[in-house]
Structure 1
């Protein structure tokens, strides 16, 4: 889904990535979550309040 978003919708992509991170947390798929969220953190690196949440989920 994220790759289909326009480039100017970075904050929305970060929000969706946060939801994905919470899913991995709830389903206890930590290894997959770390890999996936790590990719999103590198891809969607625009500074925003949502990015702080995304980095917190990764931590």
Structure 2
């Protein structure tokens, strides 16, 4: 009985660990997406600034 219980606990721990890593991966992906978006916005605003400067002069 004790052997079965320890095996069951191990399975639970493995499952928890997997869920945790999935969550971590999700946050990493979200952070990457945010970074990509902010860099795109910066590029667009810089391009826009240059264009406006050229048009005005």
Same structural fold, with TM-score higher than 0.5 when normalized by the shorter chain: no
* TM-score between both structures, scaled by the size of structure 1: 0.34
Structure showing greater Rg: 2
Structure (1 or 2) with the greater helix fraction: 2
Q: Structure 2 length as normaliser, TM-score?
A: 0.35
Highest RCO, 1 vs 2 (Cα 8 Å, sep ≥ 6): 1
